[in-house]
Amino acid sequence: METNSCNGPANVGFKIPERVSRESRLDSTLVNVAGVEVGGLDVVIIAGPCAVESEEQLFDTARAVKRDGARILRGGAFKPRSSPYSFQGMGEDGLKLLSSVRAETGMPVVTEVMDTRQVDLIGEYADMLQVGSRNMQNYPLLKEVGLSRKPVLLKRGMMATIEEFLLAAEYILSQGNENVILCERGIRTFETTTRNTLDLSAIPMLKRLTHLPVIVDPSHGTGIRWMVPAMAKAAIAAGADGLIMEVHYRPDEALCDGYQSLDLDLFKTLMADLKRIAEAVDRKMS
Ligand code: PEP
Ligand code: MN
């Protein structure tokens, strides 16, 4: 049998972990994030600031992205910063703001969990737990979110192969939590003009190997605001089930990742373009 045709088993040179493997399921997995389904026909846009900074910043940004079609709100309350002297996030106060903006807008929220000891607390406020790149191989954390029943947004480690990425997801599924969304967010290469090298080839590869939904983060994937729209469009054209993007009502004043955050006007324009791309590849954006 031919092994690398479009329909046959993919010949990738490693054993695809059992639970995440496409072979283990007939249908693609739909992850339900408090009523928003990811992995179906709809391309789902997750948008919001890198970090929750204040009530005004979060509410103004959230209202705008919702109006323009974002379905899920992002915002970090606990931030993994390279420097211990950089803004570390608002902590539980940030979680409280996320839950009040959800109450007003009706948008489910996703926020990062960095430590096993935070899973219960963050689970009380968030609709989806984000495991960031730096923690993709934090196995105790993967097991802990696997024991939770919240959906998990698992970001690819910046040095992780596709095999390692799938094995990390397998950790979560092996604990009984099958609500995992994979996120390609760029990997480290020799290239320095961009913050990371966004591996768009990971989209068709992951879609082929696993039944889990695959989304893309063009903000961290490039690190450059003006590049985000091009890569967002390319990701949808390549088959991504959604995007997660950083948007800030005043990017130049952001405490974290402002240089890669879209402002509200850019986001609005991009959303109109994305809708057309989604339709061109037989998807929808509602
Ligand atoms: C983030 O989404 O804010 C983040 C820190 O992303 P990553 O883990 O991909 O660097
Ligand atoms: Mn960020």
pLDDT tens digits for 59-100? 999 999 999 999 999 999 999 999 999 999 999 999 999 999
Give residue 154's domain range. 22-280
Task: Decide: helix, strand or coil at residue 184.
Answer: strand
Residue 197 inside a domain? The answer is: yes
Ligand 1 atom closest to the CA of 217, numbered from 1 = 9
Residue 129 lies in a domain: yes
Distant-in-sequence contacts of 134-141, Cβ < 8 A, 24+ apart: 134/80, 134/158, 135/80, 136/160, 136/164, 136/165, 136/168, 137/164, 137/168, 139/171, 140/116, 141/113, 141/114, 141/115, 141/116
* Nearest residue (CA) to ligand 1, atom 10: 133
Mean pLDDT over each residue of the chain, to the nearest integer:
96
| Structural domain includes residue 182 | yes
pTM, entire model: 0.97
Contact 218, 227 (CB under 8 A): yes
Is the pLDDT at 222 greater than 90? The verdict is yes
The count of structural domains within the chain is: 1
Residue 49 to residues 25, 112, 139, 145, 148: CA-CA distances in angstroms? Answer: 35, 12, 27, 23, 25
Q: Which of 52, 195, 217, 260 is the best mutation target for the ligand 1 pocket, counting ligand atoms within 8 Å of the beta carbon and taking the most? A: 217
Across the range 194-210, mean pLDDT stands at 98
User: Which ligand is closest in space to the CA of residue 74?
Assistant: 1
State the pLDDT confidence band at 286, using cuts at 50, 70 and 90: confident
| Residue 3 scores a pLDDT above 90 | no
Over residues 100-126, the mean pLDDT reads 98
Overall average pLDDT of the 230-247 stretch: 98
Separation of 155 CA from ligand 1 center, angstroms? 8
**pLDDT value for 6:** 61
At residue 7, the pLDDT reads 62
- Token pair belonging to 101: 């903006």
With CA atoms as reference, report the closest residue to 195 among 129, 151, 259, 246: 259
Q: Is residue 231 part of a domain?
A: yes
Residue 81 is assigned to a structural domain of this protein: yes
Asked if 191 and 197 touch (Cβ cutoff 8 Å), the reply is yes
Q: What is the mean pLDDT of residues 141-168?
A: 98
Whether 12 is covered by a domain: the verdict is no
Structure tokens at 129: 């737990």
CATH number of the structural domain spanning residue 267: 3.20.20.70
Classify residue 249: in a domain, yes or no: yes
Q: Please check whether residue 232 lies inside any domain of the structure.
A: yes
Q: Which residues line ligand 1 (CB under 6 A)?
A: 50, 76, 80, 132-134, 155, 185, 217, 220
Burial of 140 (0-12, 13-18, 19+ CB in 10 A): exposed
Q: Note the pLDDT of residue 1.
A: 41
pLDDT band at 11 (very low <50, low <70, confident <90, very high): confident
